């Protein structure tokens, strides 16, 4: 994973960005190209962004949302969703003891 900071991203002219409600939002497509990572799971919003003098609606995310997604442990969502119910774990363990 490429180590990068928001200060670097904000200065990079190849990444389209827009400030909305005092927070910076970055084009997810540009961030994927820059980081060479799939960011399709990042929470995003569509915002109007001026690119080469034309206004487009672009899928964007904050730096915090991008970083949170990048630092997720692989299969983290899967582990939490399967055994969140402790009674299900107990039933499974009891079932293994019976034969």
At 67-81, the pLDDT tens digits run: 999 987 555 555 555
For residue 92, being part of any structural domain is answered with no
Looking at per-residue confidence, does 29 or 87 come out higher?
29
Q: What per-residue confidence (pLDDT) applies to 90? A: 63
Domain count, the chain: 1
Nearest to 6 by CA among 52, 50, 63: 63
Q: What per-residue confidence (pLDDT) applies to 71? A: 86
For residue 91, being part of any structural domain is answered with no
Read off the tokens for 88.
Answer: 């299900």
Give the pLDDT band of residue 89 (cuts 50, 70, 90): low
User: Which residue range forms the structural domain that includes residue 64?
Assistant: 6-72
Give yes or no for residue 99 having a pLDDT over 50: no
For residue 89, being part of any structural domain is answered with no
Give yes or no for residue 58 having a pLDDT over 80: yes
Average pLDDT of 15-20?
94
Residue 15 Cα to chain centre, angstroms: 16
Question: What is the pTM for the complete model shown?
Answer: 0.70
For residue 12, being part of any structural domain is answered with yes
């Amino acid at each position: 994973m490429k180590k990068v900071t928001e200060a670097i991203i904000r200065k990079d002219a190849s990444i389209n960005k827009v400030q909305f409600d005092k927070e910076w939002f970055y084009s997810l497509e540009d961030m994927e190209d820059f980081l060479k990572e799939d960011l399709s799971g990042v929470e995003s919003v569509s915002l109007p962004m001026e690119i080469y003098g034309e206004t487009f609606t672009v899928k964007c995310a904050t730096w915090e949302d991008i970083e949170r997604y990048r630092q997720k442990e692989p299969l983290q969502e899967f582990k939490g969703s399967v055994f969140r119910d402790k009674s299900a774990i107990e039933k499974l363990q009891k079932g293994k003891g019976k034969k």
